[in-house]
């Protein structure tokens, strides 16, 4: 995992964002806006963050609606620069904004593009997209790249925390749902045992055959059986 930002103010700021946002979909635009503020303090720039988790569509957050729309469009077209960052951890720097990136953008002909891979943990990939005028002066360019590197590292740390929290929450939800499904199946087995005077194994086999014959999930068959007796499905109680 990326090292925690050395600046305590940055750490507190990022933690506040994490606590204030209830989902990755809400967190990414907030993080992009924070990154934009840090970059604009040095030079006017637009920026966007892209997060792609395993087996899920990419989500984006941007400092402007125009850039958000362009990034979404480039993602749908499998843009090679975004693919290089998200799939191969390769940085792309274009001194002039490519034609495919200019749709709806207010930046002039001198604007450039920077796409920086941003580590987001073992189950996700991310990239920071920066659009703006490339400084002519070498010292100013080095200073800008240093700031980009710093905010990218801060975003990486926050994204890895956010992804990890989201993974844990989803795992907890899946386990709770699995336990709920198991409860319904157990009740259905009890109903069959009472009605047919059979063993638990025989009752489960009845459910399994019904599931296979109808080509529906075992839980669905069990739920239908239980609801014939009681409209409200049994629930598993969880204590926090």
Q: Tell me whether the CATH fold assigned to 8-170 matches the one assigned to 175-229.
A: no
Residues 13-51 pLDDT 10s: 888 888 888 888 999 999 999 999 988 876 778 999 999
Question: Rounded to whole angstroms, how far apart are CA atoms 167 and 165?
Answer: 5
Residue ranges covered by each domain of the chain: 8-170, 175-229
The structural architecture, per CATH, of the domain 175-229 is: Orthogonal Bundle (1.10)
Place of tokens 């850039």: 67
Q: Is the dihedral of CA 77, 81, 85, 89 positive or negative?
A: positive
By the 10 Å C-beta count (0-12 exposed, 13-18 middle, 19+ buried), 186 is classed as middle
Q: What is the dihedral of CA 41, 3, 155, 35, to 10 degrees?
A: -10
Pick the CATH number of 8-170 from 3.20.20.150, 3.40.50.2020, 3.30.450.80, 1.10.3720.10: 3.30.450.80
pLDDT digits (tens, 9 = 90+) for 93-133: 998 888 888 877 777 767 889 999 999 999 999 999 999 88
pLDDT tens digits, residue range 166-183? 888 878 777 777 777 788
pLDDT grade for 238, boundaries at 50, 70 and 90:
very low
């Amino acid at each position: 995992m990326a090292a925690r930002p050395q600046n305590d103010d940055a750490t507190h700021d990022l933690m506040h964002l994490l606590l204030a946002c209830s989902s990755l979909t809400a967190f990414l635009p907030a993080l992009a806006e924070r990154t934009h503020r840090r970059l604009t303090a040095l030079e006017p720039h637009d920026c966007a963050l892209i997060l792609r988790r395993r087996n899920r569509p990419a989500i984006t957050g941007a400092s402007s609606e125009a850039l958000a729309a362009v990034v979404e469009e480039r993602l749908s077209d499998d843009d090679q620069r975004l693919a290089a960052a998200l799939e191969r951890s390769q940085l792309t720097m274009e001194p002039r904004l490519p034609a495919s990136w200019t749709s709806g953008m207010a930046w002039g002909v001198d604007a450039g593009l920077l796409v920086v891979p941003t580590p987001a943990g073992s189950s996700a990939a991310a990239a920071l997209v920066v659009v703006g005028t490339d400084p002519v002066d070498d010292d100013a360019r080095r200073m800008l790249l240093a700031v980009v590197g710093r905010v990218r590292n801060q975003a990486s740390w926050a994204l890895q925390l956010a992804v990890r929290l989201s993974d844990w929450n989803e795992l907890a939800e899946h386990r709770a749902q699995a336990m709920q499904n198991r409860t319904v199946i157990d009740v259905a087995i009890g109903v069959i045992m009472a009605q047919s005077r059979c063993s638990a194994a025989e009752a489960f086999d009845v459910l399994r055959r019904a599931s296979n014959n109808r080509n529906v999930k075992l839980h669905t068959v069990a739920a239908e059986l239980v609801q014939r007796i009681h409209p409200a499905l049994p629930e598993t109680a969880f204590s926090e």
